[in-house]
């Protein structure tokens, strides 16, 4: 499977500031990356699908102006949480898919980023 | 859209016993069913998956079964070990949805030594 990294692994910020999270596909070129959010003791909720070179597709209820996604290369997608508030505190996880290895429906996940907004 | 339900939400077993986690899905067009293991503070790790043209798949102590007619699939872990303790998520996807995964609610498995 694909090897995915995220940076940072955790971040603490003040309310009103912006935070950028990076997701990297280390061993293959990912045309599609996904961003999920996971609150404590809950399941993963898809926020958006990120396609290289085009605009991200956001799920219903996810504010695209608040959660900015950039997928400028085949190995890097970034999620920027703008004007973060305490309710944005969560575990953010990216995954890579798109089947560069011949199985388009498989997804491999990064280690996640713990965001805490004070 | 797709809806995936997972049971039980928590499961406690004695080391060496078997554990079974069940999921049901709503969309008959779903054709790919992965299972993920998530340890505390980490991302989900794919442990096994099954496609709609197969009824059962096994990998050492882990097996998955699929009943397309009833629209349910199950994860079976035999000879459980303490290191199997984690949260397990089932998921379903179908090609027409851009390969997006819909996750079940998760099962917290605790294996007592």
* pLDDT score at A74: 87
* pLDDT score at B93: 87
Predicted confidence band of residue B95 (pLDDT cuts 50, 70, 90): low
Average pLDDT over every residue of B14-24: 98
Predicted confidence band of residue A102 (pLDDT cuts 50, 70, 90): low
Residues 38-77 of A with CB under 8 A from B: 42-46, 49, 57
- How many other C-beta atoms are found inside a 10 Å radius of the C-beta of residue B97? 17
* pLDDT score at B43: 96
* pLDDT score at A99: 64
Q: Which has more confidence, B98 or A35?
A: A35
CB-based burial, B44-68: b 16+ in 10 Å, e otherwise: bebbbbbebeeeeeeeeebbbbbee
A42, A57, A105 ranked by CB distance to B99: nearest: A105
Residues 84-113 of B with CB under 8 A from A: 89, 93, 95, 98-106
Average pLDDT over every residue of A56-67: 93
Beta bridge partners of A44: none
- Percent residues over pLDDT 70 in chain B: 95
CB contact under 8 A, A108 and B106: no
Residue A57, token pair as written in the block: 């597709």
Residue A91, token pair as written in the block: 């575990």
pLDDT tops 90 at residue A104:
no
- Percent residues over pLDDT 70 in chain A: 94
- Percent residues over pLDDT 90 in chain A: 72
Position of tokens 């990912």? A30
Average pLDDT, chain B: 93
Between the two ends of chain B, the Cα-to-Cα distance in Å is 41
Contact criterion met (CB below 8 Å) for A80 and A20: yes
CB contact under 8 A, B105 and A43: yes
DSSP A32-55: EEEEEEE-TTS--EEEEEEETTS-
**Omega cis (within 30) before A11:** no
Say yes or no: A1 contacts chain B, CB-CB below 8 A: yes
Tens digits of residue pLDDT in A6-58: 999 999 999 999 999 999 999 878 888 999 999 999 999 999 998 888 889 99
| Distances B61 to A104, B17, B31, B87 between C-alpha atoms, Å | 26, 11, 24, 17
Say yes or no: B29 contacts chain A, CB-CB below 8 A: no
- In three-state secondary structure terms, A68 is strand
Average pLDDT over every residue of A56-73: 92
């Amino acid at each position: 499977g694909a090897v995915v990294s995220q940076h940072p692994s955790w971040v603490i910020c003040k309310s009103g500031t912006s935070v950028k999270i990076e997701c990297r596909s280390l061993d293959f070129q990912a045309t599609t990356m996904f961003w999920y959010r996971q609150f404590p003791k809950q399941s993963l909720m898809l926020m958006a699908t990120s396609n290289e070179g085009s605009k991200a597709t956001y799920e219903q209820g996810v504010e695209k102006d608040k959660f900015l996604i950039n997928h400028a290369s085949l190995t890097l997608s970034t999620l920027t949480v703008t004007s973060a508030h305490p309710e944005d505190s969560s575990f953010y996880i990216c995954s890579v898919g798109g089947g560069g290895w011949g199985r388009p429906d498989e997804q491999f996940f990064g280690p996640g980023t713990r965001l805490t907004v004070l | 859209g797709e809806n995936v339900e997972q049971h039980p939400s928590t499961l406690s077993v004695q080391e060496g016993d078997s554990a079974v986690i069940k999921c049901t899905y709503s969309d008959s067009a779903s054709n790919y069913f992965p299972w993920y293991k998530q340890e505390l503070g980490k991302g989900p790790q794919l442990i096994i998956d099954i496609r709609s043209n197969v009824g059962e798949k096994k990998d050492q102590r882990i097996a998955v079964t699929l009943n397309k007619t009833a629209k349910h699939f199950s994860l079976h872990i035999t000879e459980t070990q303490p290191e199997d303790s984690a949260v397990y998520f089932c998921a379903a996807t179908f090609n027409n949805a851009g390969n997006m995964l819909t996750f079940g609610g998760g099962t917290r498995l605790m294996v007592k030594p």
